[in-house]
Structure 1
Amino acid sequence: MEKIISQKILIFGIILMLIFSFGPMISSGNSNIINSKQPDITTNLNEKKQIYFFEESQNQNGGSFEKKIKTGYNYPETAFVCGFVSDKDTDLPIENVEVFLFGEDDEGNYWYNYSYTNTSGYYGMHTSAGYIYLSFYRNEYFSEYIDNIVIDPYDILWFNVSLTPIPPVTVTVCGYIKNKITEEPIPNVFVDLDWYDDYGHSWDNDSYTNISGFYKMGAPAGDIKIDAHPDGYYYCESDWYNANENQTIWINLSLQPIPPQTAIVFGYITDKMSGEPIEDADIQLYWRDEEGNYDYNYTDTDGWGFYKIYTNPGRIRIRAYKTNYEYEYSEYYWIEDNQTIWINLSLNFEPDETLAACGYVVDTVTLAPVKYAYVRYDWKDDEGHMYSKYTHCDKAGYYFINVPPGSAQFLITSFGYEEFETSWFDFNESKAITWINISISPQITIQIDKPLPGLYINNNLKTPFLSKIFKFLIPNIKPLIIGPITIEANITKNTSGVNRVDFYIDGVFQKSDNIEPYNFTWNKTALFTHTIKVIAYDNAGTINIKTLRIRRLT
Structure 2
Amino acid sequence: MKINTKEITSLLVMGILIGTILLPTLTAPLQASILQNPSKIGKDTQYWALVVGIGKYAENPEQNRPDMILEANDFRDLLLQTPWWSADHIKLLTAENATRSNIIAGFRWLIKQASADDVVVVYLSTHGNYLPFDIPPRDEADNADEMLVTYWGFAYNNSFINDDTINIMLNQLKSNNVCLIVDSCYAGGLNDHWKLLKSASEQHRVILMGSCEDEVAYSGGFAPYLIDGLRGYADSNGDGIVTAEEVFTYAQPRSIPRQNPTIYDGYPGELPLTTDTIHQTSSPPTSSHRQESTPIQPPNTIGVTAETAVLCGYITSSGQPINDALITVSGRINYQQTYTNSTTTDPTGFYFMHVPAIRIRVAVSAQGYCDASTNQFQIIENQTYWVNLSLVPHPPETAILRGYISSAQNGTPLAANVSLRWWGSQEETYRNTTVADGNGFYQMNVAPGQVDLDVTKDGYFSESLDELNINDSQTLWANVSLYPLPLETSTICGYLMDSSTGAPLIGVRIDFTWINVSISHEYTREAQTNASGFFSIPIAPGELYIDLREEGYSYYDPYRHDAVAGEPLWMNLSLQQNSVSVDIAKPLQALYLNNQRIIPWASTRIIGPIDIEATGTDFDYGPGGQWQVQKVEFYIDGALKATVTTEPYLWNWTAKTFGKHTIKVIAYGFHNDTASKELEVTKFL
TM over 0.5: no
TM-score using structure 2 length: 0.30
In terms of fraction of residues, the more helix-rich structure is 2
The structure in which a higher percent of residues are strand is: 1
* Structure label with greater radius of gyration: 1
Q: Structure 1 length normalisation: TM-score?
A: 0.36
